[in-house]
């Protein structure tokens, strides 16, 4: 199984890492490690996470208010459609994927 990200998800990830690297908090590295671990878990158990409509599922991150919205567009491939901040509107990410 291979994992890829949409352009929008990559932009959200870059923004979130930049935000976590604000002076004094030192959370950028920890956040990125959680993203990597979540990606590996999605590859291992792609259907284990809560459905958020249609083929999309959300894998919440531990310690951070974010989730990875993912789906399987074709056999052998998984795609992260959004790196969703959980304090935003729950369906904001749909504008870029549907």
pLDDT digits (tens, 9 = 90+) for 73-94: 999 999 999 988 877 666 666 7
CATH number at residue 76: 3.30.2310.20
- How many CB atoms are closer than 10 A to CB 5? 19
24 against 37, higher pLDDT: 37
Domain count, the chain: 1
- Give the pTM: 0.81
Q: What's the rounded Cα separation, in Å, for the pair 4 and 81?
A: 9
Q: What's the rounded Cα separation, in Å, for the pair 39 and 89?
A: 23
Range of the domain at 50: 2-96
* pLDDT over threshold 60, residue 98: no
pLDDT digits (tens, 9 = 90+) for 37-65: 999 999 999 999 989 988 999 999 888 88
63 against 96, higher pLDDT: 63
Cβ contact 71:55 at 8 Å: yes
């Amino acid at each position: 199984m291979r994992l890829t990200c949409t352009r929008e998800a990559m932009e959200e990830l870059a923004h979130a890492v930049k935000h976590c690297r604000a002076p004094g908090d030192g959370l950028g590295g920890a956040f990125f490690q959680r993203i990597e671990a979540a990606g590996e878990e999605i590859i291992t158990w792609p259907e284990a996470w809560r459905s958020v409509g249609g083929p999309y599922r959300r894998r919440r991150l531990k310690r951070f208010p974010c989730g990875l919205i993912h789906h399987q567009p074709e056999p052998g491939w998984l795609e992260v459609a959004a790196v969703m901040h959980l304090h935003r509107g729950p369906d904001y990410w749909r504008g870029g994927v549907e």
